Amino acid sequence: MIAIDPKVETLRAQLPAVLGTAYFNAGSNGPIPRVAIDALVAAARAECEVGRIVPGAYEGNRGRNRRVAALIAELFNADASEIALTHSTAEGLSTALNGIAWRPGDEIVTTNLEHPGLTVPLCLLAHRYGVVIRYADIGHGGGDVVGAIAERMTARTRVVALSSLMWSSGAVVPLAEVTAEAHRRGAMVIVDGAQSGGQVPIDLHGLGVDAYAVSGQKWLCGPEATGALYVRRDRLADIAPTYLRYAQFDLSGYLIPVEGAMRYEIGEFYGPSILALEAALIWLRDEVGFDWAYERSVTLGRRCWDGLSEVPGVTVTTPRERMAGLVCFAVEGMPPQDLAAKLYERGMTIRYVALAPGPTVARVATGWWNTEEEVDALVAAVGDIASN
Amino acid sequence: MIAIDPKVETLRAQLPAVLGTAYFNAGSNGPIPRVAIDALVAAARAECEVGRIVPGAYEGNRGRNRRVAALIAELFNADASEIALTHSTAEGLSTALNGIAWRPGDEIVTTNLEHPGLTVPLCLLAHRYGVVIRYADIGHGGGDVVGAIAERMTARTRVVALSSLMWSSGAVVPLAEVTAEAHRRGAMVIVDGAQSGGQVPIDLHGLGVDAYAVSGQKWLCGPEATGALYVRRDRLADIAPTYLRYAQFDLSGYLIPVEGAMRYEIGEFYGPSILALEAALIWLRDEVGFDWAYERSVTLGRRCWDGLSEVPGVTVTTPRERMAGLVCFAVEGMPPQDLAAKLYERGMTIRYVALAPGPTVARVATGWWNTEEEVDALVAAVGDIASN
């Protein structure tokens, strides 16, 4: 038995979901801290008891939303005015992609490892505007990603759209280099941050990306239907709002959208869930510590990688030199769906990924809340299952 | 003192927010029944305790969403396959309006009484696609609405977009006649149902409208950030998805959206709030009874109208022959903002509407939960305030 870091033990007590199962699936939905649900329940009960329309309710809701935007901006090194709240990463990506004035024959470069939350909106652009979608085959993300993307770019490439941490391989993309290359050639970079936001450090101003969409319910441990879209402040003219809720307007059809990235917000939000996200973000920042969390996720990920790579019949596909807390692998002769089901029976929650063009793999997400013992037990269980 | 109908008294006990104030503002947000919040809180707590990713979670979420779509379809006489869940009426309207293949010079006819959730997306179409927006001046909605709209239509009118119950005047529009005229001239009808859905009977198949967007948090007494969009099944080719989440696709940029109106759903939803909306809808259907609710709202609305129209210095603007549960009025020499504030001090929650091109008015929403005594007290309070 391996001793548990007292800090980990204290924090785990605030995440009930990780106590009932070995919780290796923040890549789908993270565990929710008690403090977040308590905030949500208190607000939900108050809405029922007191009613939702009290003097100052609208101003209060706006102030609450902007506070959360500021927390997200702080986390990712952006300005609050560059952050719109969304209901999902897919919504954020659709907002960014639909905001561009496409011409037929314009091109977008993406990769073979993307989530349908990005791939489907890209296909829709092909259907609606005649945009050409070019896939860069980057394997599992371990090789020359920049070169593979650069090779697919042409003079008509207007956007490079990709994840910064691949849901289907666990690879952390060299995003600064991709961005530099794209910008050098006049293309914008729109990033699916569903897996990277809260799992690895993200410095948006440092990276220079043009848009970045993130989920609240994964590595940020918030409720479902929360998320954010970052649009760099000098891209407001390049990325127009498509679903616009707040603007000044006149009767002849002219309008001025609300300032900053707030123009991308599609009303409404469930207020108590925004308060829960706020509570989760503050808890992660102040009680957990993002830097500590990032470091621990990758340390546990490597431990898992190393363990699994020793198991006969297991092929780990995640590139170890570019990994964080997602470990993807295949067990010879066993569909990952079956493996995930067998592990669940043993009290371990992982998931599988099986969606073309991405690889078909089992996926372990090591969160900072996992223990070394849980990781070792998972490796042993995979070995046991693989040998039978 | 007027005796309270025992049914009303029993039901009011399930709506805590109407006990603390005379609650006349379902037009902004309705009161939430206990059964809805209990469902929400139980689900929110379970997500925290058990975790959100258990076997069958995705299928379960989809089944839950489709159950709620079916309840909404039943309420409005539509098929479940014609209903998409949304986060707001504005989202539904933006989805319908952005789904049309606009050409510069295409025209839309709307009215002077619309909410910015419709007006702003219309202005955006003017900006983005060169669509011409024509306003029909229908006053407060009491006169020849069909004629006023017909007069603004031309051969280039592709859509008539309007509310079926006006937020800024309380008028119930003769929607069947508007629709018949629009269809006769080859235009689609897209309806802002924020005020009508749950306040008055709506028979979508009977009306023949092409799209109808509704809010969950107003007269349906659900949580904020719930709602639905109806698209008539033979309009799937006319109204394309803009934010598409679920589709089959291939790598060369082709795709097939998920079947029916579900293609208009922008993921994700906050699951517990969908369960709360479900509980509210079932409670309204089975315990309250929609027909009884519709009838009682308009009866109380007329009582309020009649009372206010006797008050010196008060001008009631709602057309009595077309009213339901919204009563709009002006007090001579007093901005409606001040009146609403003074009434709130007396324990009465109303709101004001002050947004061009609509009129500036105070607005009382009489819900079935209000008592006759509350209505009379409100009228007396307005009289008292107006005379000082």
Structure tokens at A230: 């970052």
Is B266 within 8 Å of chain A by CB? yes
Q: What local confidence, expressed as pLDDT, does residue B24 receive?
A: 97
pLDDT per position as a tens digit, A219-267: 999 999 999 999 999 999 999 999 999 999 998 889 999 999 999 999 8
Q: What local confidence, expressed as pLDDT, does residue A56 receive?
A: 85
Q: What local confidence, expressed as pLDDT, does residue A58 receive?
A: 87
Chain A closest CA to B250's CA: distance in Å? 8
Q: What local confidence, expressed as pLDDT, does residue B118 receive?
A: 97
Picking from B32, B90, B357, the nearest residue to A47 by CB comes out as: B32
Alpha-carbon gap, residue A272 to B123, rounded angstroms: 31
Q: Cβ(A120)–Cβ(B256) under 8 Å?
A: no
Q: What local confidence, expressed as pLDDT, does residue A358 receive?
A: 86
Interchain proximity A349–B255, CB inside 8 Å = no
Structure tokens at A346: 């043993």
Determine if the peptide bond prior to B268 is cis (ω within 30°): yes
Query: Measuring CA to CA, how many Å separate B12 from each of A52, A147, B19, B99, B198?
Result: 16, 67, 7, 41, 17
Query: Measuring CA to CA, how many Å separate A280 from each of A37, A213, A222, B7, B47?
Result: 9, 18, 6, 42, 14
Is B354 within 8 Å of chain A by CB? no
Residue A1 clears pLDDT 80, i.e. is over it: no
Distance of CA A183 to the CA centre of its chain: 23
Mean pLDDT in residue range B371-384: 98
pLDDT per position as a tens digit, B323-377: 999 999 999 999 999 999 999 999 999 999 998 878 999 999 999 999 999 999 9
CA proximity to B108, closest of B58, B162, B146:
B162
Question: Which stretch of A331-345, A346-360, B262-276 has the lowest confidence by average pLDDT?
Answer: A346-360
Q: What local confidence, expressed as pLDDT, does residue A251 receive?
A: 85
If phi > 0 it is left, if psi is from -120 to 50 it is alpha, else beta; for residue B225 that is: left
Chain A closest CA to B133's CA: distance in Å? 6
Interchain proximity B91–A266, CB inside 8 Å = yes
Q: What percentage of chain A carries pLDDT values higher than 90?
A: 95
Interchain proximity A357–B267, CB inside 8 Å = no
Alpha-carbon gap, residue A215 to B257, rounded angstroms: 23
Q: How confident is the model at residue A388 (pLDDT cuts 50, 70, 90)?
A: confident
Torsion B268-B270-B271-B275 (CA) sign: negative
Alpha-carbon gap, residue B84 to B88, rounded angstroms: 11
Interchain proximity B48–A37, CB inside 8 Å = yes
Q: Is B33 exposed, middle or buried (0-12, 13-18, 19+ CB in 10 A)?
A: buried
Chain A closest CA to B299's CA: distance in Å? 24
Query: Chain A partners of B344 at a C-beta cutoff of 8 Å?
Result: 55
Picking from A45, A135, A273, the nearest residue to B251 by CB comes out as: A135
**What 3-state DSSP class applies to B319?**
coil
Return mean pLDDT, chain B: 97
Chain B closest CA to A209's CA: distance in Å? 22
* Sequence-ordered alpha helix ranges (H) in A311-365: 336-345
Distance of CA A318 to the CA centre of its chain: 17
Suggest the residue from A21, A35, A38, A53 to mutate for an interface test with chain B (most B CBs closer than 10 A).
Answer: A53
Q: What local confidence, expressed as pLDDT, does residue A366 receive?
A: 98
Is A310 within 8 Å of chain B by CB? no
Residue A107 clears pLDDT 80, i.e. is over it: yes
Residue B1 clears pLDDT 80, i.e. is over it: no
pLDDT per position as a tens digit, B34-83: 999 999 999 999 999 999 877 888 899 999 999 999 999 999 999 999 99
Q: Cβ(A108)–Cβ(A134) under 8 Å?
A: yes
Residue A115 clears pLDDT 80, i.e. is over it: yes
CA proximity to A31, closest of A211, A195, A220:
A220
Suggest the residue from B270, B277, B351 to mutate for an interface test with chain A (most A CBs closer than 10 A).
Answer: B270
Q: What local confidence, expressed as pLDDT, does residue A364 receive?
A: 98
Alpha-carbon gap, residue A165 to A175, rounded angstroms: 9
Q: What local confidence, expressed as pLDDT, does residue B58 receive?
A: 87
Torsion angles phi and psi, residue A160, rounded to 5: -110, 120
Alpha-carbon gap, residue B178 to B150, rounded angstroms: 8
CA proximity to A311, closest of A366, A384, A202:
A384
Alpha-carbon gap, residue A53 to B367, rounded angstroms: 15
Residue A293 clears pLDDT 80, i.e. is over it: yes
Q: What percentage of chain A carries pLDDT values higher than 70?
A: 100
Residue carrying the six token digits 């939350």: A117
Interchain proximity A17–B51, CB inside 8 Å = yes
Alpha-carbon gap, residue A226 to A210, rounded angstroms: 21
In chain B the domains, ranked by start, together with CATH numbers, are: 6-24+289-386 (3.90.1150.10), 41-285 (3.40.640.10)
CA proximity to A249, closest of A261, A241, A257, A237:
A257
- Vertex B201: Cα angle to B161 and B25 (nearest 5): 80
Alpha-carbon gap, residue A178 to A192, rounded angstroms: 14
pLDDT per position as a tens digit, A7-33: 999 999 999 999 999 999 999 999 999
Question: Which stretch of A111-125, A185-199, A348-362 has the lowest confidence by average pLDDT?
Answer: A348-362
| Greater model confidence, A358 or B63 | B63
- Within 13 Å of residue B254, how many CA atoms lie on the same side as its CB? 2
Chain B closest CA to A198's CA: distance in Å? 18
Residue carrying the six token digits 């995930």: A340
Query: Chain B partners of A131 at a C-beta cutoff of 8 Å?
Result: 253
pLDDT per position as a tens digit, B118-156: 999 999 999 999 999 999 999 999 999 999 999 999 999
Q: What percentage of chain B carries pLDDT values higher than 90?
A: 95
Question: Which stretch of B23-32, B85-94, B352-361 has the lowest confidence by average pLDDT?
Answer: B352-361
Q: Which residues pair with A360 in a beta bridge?
A: A354
Is B256 within 8 Å of chain A by CB? no
Interchain proximity B273–A271, CB inside 8 Å = no
Which residues in chain A (168-207) have CB-CB distances under 8 A to chain B? none
| Greater model confidence, A356 or B63 | B63
Interchain proximity B123–A87, CB inside 8 Å = no
Structure tokens at A322: 């570019």
Chain A closest CA to B327's CA: distance in Å? 18
How many residues in total does chain B contain? 388
Q: Cβ(A216)–Cβ(A228) under 8 Å?
A: yes
Alpha-carbon gap, residue B53 to A17, rounded angstroms: 10
CA proximity to A187, closest of A126, A107, A267, A280:
A107
Residue A155 clears pLDDT 90, i.e. is over it: yes
pLDDT per position as a tens digit, A52-102: 877 888 899 999 999 999 999 999 999 999 999 999 999 999 999 999 999
Contacts of A352 (CB under 8 A, 6+ apart): A335, A336, A337, A339, A340, A360, A361, A362, A363
Contacts of B138 (CB under 8 A, 6+ apart): B111, B112, B113, B145, B148, B149, B171
Is B249 within 8 Å of chain A by CB? yes
